[in-house]
Amino acid sequence: MMTRRSLLGRSAAGGLSLLSIPTGCGWFPAESGDAYSPWELEETGPPELLAVRAAILAASPHNTQPWRFEVTPEEIRLFEVPERSLGAMDPLGRERKIGLGCALENLVIAARHQGRAAEVELLPTEDPRLVARIRLSPAAAIDDPLYHAIPERHTSRGAYLDGPAPAGLADALRGQIQAPSVSLALLTAPEDKARFREGTIAATEAIVADAEMNAASDAWYRHSAADIERERDGVTLDTTGNDAMTRFFGKTTGRPSAETAGAYWIEGTRGRQTTASAFGILSTADRASPREQLEVGRAYQRIHLFATNEGLAMQPLNQMAERQDREASLGLEPVHTARLSALLKEESRAQMLFRIGTAWEPAKRSPRRPLAWVVS
**What integer pLDDT is reported at residue 25 of this predicted model?**
56
* C-alpha torsion angle, residues 117, 118, 124, 129 (rounded to 10): 150
For residues 40 and 70, give the distance between their C-alpha atoms in angstroms, rounded to a whole number.
Answer: 22
Per-residue pLDDT of 94-115, as tens digits, reads 999 999 999 999 999 999 999 9
Stretch 169-198: mean pLDDT, rounded?
Answer: 98
Task: Report H helices in 34-78.
Answer: 47-55
Stretch 29-42: mean pLDDT, rounded?
Answer: 95
In this predicted model, which residue has the larger pLDDT, 331 or 18?
331
State the number of CA atoms in the 13 A half-sphere of 337 facing the CB: 13
Cβ contact 251:169 at 8 Å = no
In this predicted model, which residue has the larger pLDDT, 9 or 72?
72
**What integer pLDDT is reported at residue 12 of this predicted model?**
42
**What integer pLDDT is reported at residue 4 of this predicted model?**
38
Query: By mean pLDDT, which of 24-38, 58-72, 215-229, 275-289 is the weakest?
Result: 24-38
**What integer pLDDT is reported at residue 17 of this predicted model?**
40
pLDDT at 268 over 80: yes
**What integer pLDDT is reported at residue 366 of this predicted model?**
98
Per-residue pLDDT of 287-330, as tens digits, reads 999 999 999 999 999 999 999 999 999 999 999 999 999 999 99
Q: What pTM was computed for the model? A: 0.93
Residue 56's pLDDT band, with cuts at 50, 70 and 90, is: very high
Cβ contact 48:73 at 8 Å = yes
| Sign of CA pseudo-dihedral 157, 366, 351, 144 | positive
Query: By mean pLDDT, which of 11-15, 142-146, 261-265 is the weakest?
Result: 11-15
In order of their start, the domains of the chain are 31-152 (3.40.109.10), 169-357 (3.40.109.10)
Chain Cα centroid distance, residue 232: 15
pLDDT at 2 over 90: no
Per-residue pLDDT of 129-168, as tens digits, reads 999 999 999 999 999 999 999 999 999 999 999 899 999 9
**What integer pLDDT is reported at residue 6 of this predicted model?**
40
In this predicted model, which residue has the larger pLDDT, 228 or 15?
228
**What integer pLDDT is reported at residue 42 of this predicted model?**
86
pLDDT at 19 over 50: no
**What integer pLDDT is reported at residue 21 of this predicted model?**
44
